[in-house]
Amino acid sequence: MSLTFYFAPNSTASTVHWTLEELGIPYETVRVDLQNEADKKAKLGSVNPNLLVPAVVHEGVAIFESAAIQIYLGETFGVERGLYPAPGPARGEALKWLVWCNVHLAEATSRWQRNTRAQIPVEERSAAAAAVARKDIDKRLAIFEGALADRPYALGSKPSIVDFHLGAAIGWMAFSGVAMEAFPHARAWLERLQSRPAFAKLRSA
């Protein structure tokens, strides 16, 4: 098997990185400097036309977009390892949360980041837009908080690729200053996930 993972530290590639470590499958890595246009073009030009990470190449086929990669890894390797549901209603729920994370949660997070990051020129930031985005993040987190009210993980009693995907995204938000006190179920869920050995490997990448 040949699987190559294109990543950058402290980026959205952490979602896929976590899954790869949990799956325990062999893979090679290509580290990309996202601040260097020449490096991005040289390493990602034939893999992802968007010049973004994450991306994987499996058996010669390039796959980009983190949710698409997670779905592919789940279907290809995760079912037999108990980390992704077999086809059926549970698979539908997994797909629901993966897409929700990348569409709704990430959209609000992107707006918040766009208007709060020090790297963005002050004249291009809006405190009002940041406040609206922050409220939208809380609305999204409240949805996930409700889903965890009767279960320890996104799909039930055991962790899955859905948890690793959401855990990387929400963990980054918490690290960036999004308070989790109003979401005790999600906070406890995140603590459980971050105690896993695979998470420690992410932090040392």
Architecture of domain 3-78: 3-Layer(aba) Sandwich (3.40)
Banded pLDDT at 203 (limits 50, 70, 90): confident
Strand segments, DSSP code E, in the chain are 3-7, 28-31, 55-58, 61-64
What is the domain partition of the chain in residue ranges? 3-78, 89-196
- Kindly report, residue by residue over 59-82, the tens digit of the pLDDT: 999 999 999 999 999 999 999 999
Cα–Cα–Cα angle for 55, 59, 65, rounded to 5 degrees:
20
**How far from each other are the two terminal CA atoms of the chain, in whole angstroms?**
23
The predicted structure's pLDDT at residue 201: 84
Does 89-196 carry CATH code 3.90.1520.10? no
The pLDDT tens digits of the residues spanning 13-22 come to: 999 999 999 9
* 205, pLDDT greater than 80: no
Q: Mean pLDDT score of the chain, rounded to an integer? A: 95
pLDDT digits 0-9 by tens, 1-34: 699 999 999 899 999 999 999 999 999 999 999 9
CA gap 25, 58 in Å, rounded? 12
Mean pLDDT along residues 85-107 = 97
Is the pLDDT at 41 greater than 90? The verdict is yes
Question: How far apart are alpha carbons 1 and 119 in whole angstroms?
Answer: 40
The reported pLDDT for the residue numbered 103 is 96
**Cβ neighbourhood burial of 108 (10 Å; 0-12, 13-18, 19+):** buried
Using pLDDT thresholds of 50, 70 and 90, give the confidence band for residue 122. confident
Task: Look at residue 121 and tell me whether its pLDDT is greater than 90.
Answer: no
Question: Per the confidence metrics, is the pTM higher than 0.85?
Answer: yes
Tens of pLDDT, residues 125-168: 899 999 999 999 999 999 999 999 999 999 999 999 999 999 99
Residue 3, C-beta contacts closer than 8 angstroms, at least 6 positions apart: 25, 26, 27, 28, 56, 57, 58, 59
